[in-house]
Amino acid sequence: MSTVHEDTSLEFIASNLDILATILPERLLKPQVGIVCGSGLSTLAASFRERIEVPYSSLKGFGISTVHGHKSALAFGLVGPGDGVPVVAMLGRFHAYEGHSLSTVVYPVRVMARLGVKDIIITNAAGSLDPALPVGTIVSIRDHLALPNLTGFNPLLGPAKPQYPRFLPLSTAYSHSLRRTVFLAAHELGLPSSTLGEGTYAWVSGPTYESPAEGRFLRAAGASVVGMSTVPEVLAAKEEGIEVCVLSLVTNFVVVPDGYRSVREEVEAELAGRPLPPVPQVEVSHEEVLAIGKEKGEVMRSLVEKMIELLGKSG
Ligand X SMILES: O=P(O)(O)O[C@H]1O[C@H](CO)[C@@H](O)[C@H]1O
Answer yes or no whether residue 290 interacts with ligand GUN by CB under 6 A. Answer: no
5 a catalytic residue = no
Q: 4-26 burial, b if ≥16 CB within 10 A, otherwise e?
A: beeebeeeebebbeeebeeebee
Long-range CB pairs of 105-109 (<8 Å, 24+ gap) are 105/155, 105/232, 105/233, 106/155, 106/232, 106/233, 106/235, 106/236, 107/4, 107/8, 107/13, 107/61, 107/62, 107/63, 108/36, 108/62, 108/74, 109/34, 109/36, 109/233, 109/236, 109/237, 109/240, 109/242
Number of other CB atoms surrounding residue 158 within 10 Å: 10
Closest distance to ligand X from the beta carbon of 154 (Å): 17
Answer yes or no whether residue 127 interacts with ligand GUN by CB under 6 A. Answer: yes
Answer yes or no whether residue 228 interacts with ligand GUN by CB under 6 A. Answer: yes
65 a catalytic residue = no
201 a catalytic residue = no
Answer yes or no whether residue 204 interacts with ligand GUN by CB under 6 A. Answer: yes
Convert residues 80-119 into a mask of x (bound to ligand GUN by CB under 6 A) and - (unbound): ----------------------------------------
Any known ligand binding at 39? yes
- List the single partner that 204 binds among ligand GUN, ligand X, none, CB under 5 to 8 Å by kind: ligand GUN
Task: Name the site residues for ligand X (rule: CB under 6 A).
Answer: 38-39, 67, 93, 95, 124-125, 206, 227-229, 286, 289
Catalytic residue numbers, as ranges: 39, 70, 95, 97-98, 125, 228-229, 252, 286
Provide the binding-site residues for ligand GUN, judged by CB under 6 A: 125-127, 204, 206, 209-210, 226-228, 251-252, 254, 284, 289
Residues forming the annotated binding site for a purine D-ribonucleoside?
Answer: 210, 252
